[in-house]
Amino acid sequence: MTEVTRYGTPPVELPLRLDLALEPTPVPGCAGCGELAALRGRARAVGDLTTVTDCNVLIRRHPEGHR
Ligand SMILES: [Zn+2]
């Protein structure tokens, strides 16, 4: 019996929640993180994923300082 699956590409579940999984948590009490988190929320609301990513990078950079 041969199956008709010769397309070579099995259905892959796309990691749609990748952004959420990668999102760093703003450090409590840090004004920089707080601002970035607020900006990130606003950017996400308007679908500006570039800014969301930028904010995530900056929040993750907290130990080295923002900007
Ligand atoms: Zn910070």
Of 56, 28, 24, the residue nearest 48 (C-alpha): 56
Measured in Å, residue 9 CA sits from the centre of ligand 1 at 43
Measured in Å, residue 41 CA sits from the centre of ligand 1 at 16
Measured in Å, residue 54 CA sits from the centre of ligand 1 at 14
Q: pLDDT by residue (tens digit) across 7-64?
A: 677 776 665 555 556 689 999 999 999 999 999 999 999 999 999 999 999 999 999 9
Q: pLDDT by residue (tens digit) across 11-26?
A: 766 655 555 566 899 9
Q: 65: alpha, beta or left, given left = phi > 0 and alpha = psi -120 to 50?
A: left
Other Cβ atoms closer than 10 A to 52: 20
